[in-house]
């Protein structure tokens, strides 16, 4: 599969897109004023310990206190609270409850593993993990491992031997070989290890000097992270529209994989690089709830606080032979588009897909096989939990940052995020109820109703009977004043 990385930069924002065979697969956006927090290392102070939730809240200098679960508390950081036997215990649950491991006011070195989402603060851990080009350094654990995507047993043994030596030279800590490390020699891993261990040592040194809350280490910028995580022989081209970002990228590619330096290109600047590769169109499409399928069917995507619900419909597609064939074709197109939209929108957590019911067991198997094949192309870990005869598929996908919609949009101030507002009939009914409450006090006095123009038109048309009913309550002399500054659900009843 041919992959291209498209990067558009301005002084305020960087947008990047990963193209697979010319189609936009993933979009990344980073604004200088609101850079992400995942990967950052902080020195924080515990503000609250909640035994009932086995968790604590930690002030790390962000807008909201971060959330620390008991499983993410490192014994090394609270050794004054534990016996040597407890510190050496391999099972976390044997090390005691949260109230015995951290105290209010205690200072901890932690790393952000999940961005603040909605009203929730960031998720943090004291098990620090620093990713490099070819390996991941975990200074707080004693572990050596190899990416599961490397399946050749001989290569796995070779890589483990390299990592064991690196750990011995370091004097401890853990290392995991990344997929990009396959085939690389010990010198590549040693260079990565030196950089990562130096980064950790510098962070710990800052922790000794700084008062909590303090930022000890900031994760790389967007383009640098993408090159670290994606750069490989699969990347056919890296195209940028900023000369400054082009120079930085070219230098980094020459350092990471010199043989790929010729694949870095600077756009001529005559047009939008995002428009040229269809990224802008896909971004607009990713903000809509309804997405059409090639055959005429469609899916509807509804993110909620707890999960994402995706509904599949045949729409305009009526098929050519029989109902089962129509349903199978629609569902096959749907699972491909579902995974595409999940990656594009960076949806995570629990995702429920309501496929069209399939009677034939073989049809269900084909659809599930297609879904799993598409998910294998996704870099974020995911797992299909269940599928039943009603067509419901439940899957989970790791969520570490805000979705594309939350990054680009804000809650609608008109509907307050509900996606719905009261219709004119409902508002007119509420006006009647409100006047009825004060009828005894205003009867015989002129009455002015200040309402949204849509409600004013309704009171002159379909809901004119409401004014007649109000006249029966309080007498004649009711006037309606349209006010475009009022929300459709708002109104004022003014007695003269």
Which of the listed CATH numbers 2.30.30.100, 3.40.605.10, 3.10.20.740, 3.40.1260.20 matches domain 424-495?
3.40.1260.20
Give the pLDDT confidence score for residue 318 in this predicted structure: 66
Give the pLDDT confidence score for residue 398 in this predicted structure: 86
Give the pLDDT confidence score for residue 76 in this predicted structure: 44
Smallest CA-to-CA distance from 331 within 350, 311, 351 is with 311
Q: What are the pLDDT digits (tens) for 219-276?
A: 988 999 999 888 888 899 999 998 999 999 999 898 888 889 999 999 887 778 998 9
Distance, CA of 252 to CA of 194 (rounded, Å): 17
Which string of DSSP letters, residue by residue, matches 264-283? EEE--SSS-HHHHTTHHHHH
Single pTM value for the model: 0.76
Taking the domains of the chain in order of start, what are their residue ranges? 3-35+221-273, 41-217, 287-398, 424-495
Q: Tokens 């990224």 correspond to what residue?
A: 279
Distance, CA of 120 to CA of 491 (rounded, Å): 34
Residue 81 has pLDDT above 70, yes or no: no
Residue 342 has pLDDT above 90, yes or no: yes
Sheet arrangement for strand 491-495: 478-482, 447-451, 491-495
Length of the chain: 496
Q: What CATH number should be reported for the domain whose range is 3-35+221-273?
A: 3.30.420.60
Q: Three-state SS for 249?
A: helix
Which of the listed CATH numbers 2.40.50.140, 1.10.1200.10, 3.40.50.300, 2.60.40.1220 matches domain 41-217?
2.40.50.140
Domain 3-35+221-273 and domain 424-495 have a common topology: no
Residues 178 and 134: beta-carbon distance below 8 Å: yes
Q: Round the average pLDDT of the chain to a whole number and report it.
A: 87
Residue 51 CB partners (closer than 8 Å, separation 6+): 97, 98, 99
Q: What are the pLDDT digits (tens) for 444-490?
A: 889 999 999 999 999 999 999 999 999 998 888 899 999 999 999 99
Token pair of 331, please? Answer: 């569902």
Distance, CA of 128 to CA of 151 (rounded, Å): 26
Residues 236 and 262: beta-carbon distance below 8 Å: no
């Amino acid at each position: 599969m041919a992959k291209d990385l498209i990067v558009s930069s301005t002084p305020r924002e960087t947008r990047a897109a990963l193209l697979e065979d010319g189609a936009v697969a993933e979009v990344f956006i980073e604004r200088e004023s609101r850079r992400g927090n995942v990967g950052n290392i902080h020195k924080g102070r515990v503000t609250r310990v909640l035994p009932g939730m086995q968790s604590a809240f930690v002030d790390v200098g962000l807008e909201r206190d971060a959330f620390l679960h008991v499983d993410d508390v490192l014994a090394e950081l609270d050794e004054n609270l534990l016996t040597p036997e407890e510190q050496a215990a391999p099972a976390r649950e044997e090390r005691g409850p949260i109230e015995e491991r951290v105290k209010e006011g205690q200072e901890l070195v932690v790393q952000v593993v999940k961005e603040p989402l909605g009203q929730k603060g960031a998720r943090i851990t004291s098990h620090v993990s620093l990713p490099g080009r070819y390996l991941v350094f975990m200074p707080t654990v004693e572990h050596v491992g190899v990416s599961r995507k490397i399946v050749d047993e001989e290569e796995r043994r070779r890589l483990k031997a390299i990592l064991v030596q690196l750990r011995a030279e370091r004097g401890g800590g853990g290392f995991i070989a990344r997929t990009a490390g396959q085939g690389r020699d010990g010198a590549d891993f040693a260079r990565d290890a030196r950089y990562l261990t130096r980064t950790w040592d510098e962070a710990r040194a800052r922790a000794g000097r700084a008062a909590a809350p303090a930022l000890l280490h900031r994760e790389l910028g967007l383009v640098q992270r993408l090159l670290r995580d994606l750069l490989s022989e699969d990347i056919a081209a890296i195209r940028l529209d900023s000369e400054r970002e082009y120079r930085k990228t070219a230098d980094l590619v020459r350092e990471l994989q010199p043989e790929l330096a010729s694949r870095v290109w600077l756009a001529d600047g005559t047009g939008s690089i995002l428009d040229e590769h269809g990224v802008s169109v896909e971004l607009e499409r990713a903000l809509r709830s309804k997405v059409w399928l090639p055959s005429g069917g469609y899916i509807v995507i509804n993110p909620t606080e707890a999960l994402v619900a995706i509904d599949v419909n045949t729409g305009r597609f009526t098929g050519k032979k029989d109902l089962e064939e129509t349903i199978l074709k629609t569902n096959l197109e749907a699972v491909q588009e579902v995974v595409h939209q999940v990656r594009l929108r960076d949806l995570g957590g629990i995702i429920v897909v309501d496929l069209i019911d399939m009677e034939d067991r073989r049809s269900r198997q084909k659809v599930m096989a297609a879904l799993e094949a598409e998910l294998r192309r996704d870099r974020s870990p995911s797992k299909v939990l269940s599928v039943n005869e009603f067509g419901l598929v439940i899957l989970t996908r790791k969520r570490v940052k805000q979705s594309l919609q939350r990054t680009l949009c804000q809650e609608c101030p008109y509907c307050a995020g509900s996606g719905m507002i009261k219709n004119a009939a409902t508002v007119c009914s509420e006006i009647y109820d409100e006047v009825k409450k004060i009828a005894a006090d205003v009867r015989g006095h002129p009455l002015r109703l200040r309402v949204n123009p849509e409600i004013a038109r309704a009171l002159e048309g379909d809901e004119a009977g409401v004014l007649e009913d109000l006249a029966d309550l309080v007498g004649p002399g009711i006037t309606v004043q349209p006010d475009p500054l009022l929300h459709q659900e708002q109104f004022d009843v003014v007695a003269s």
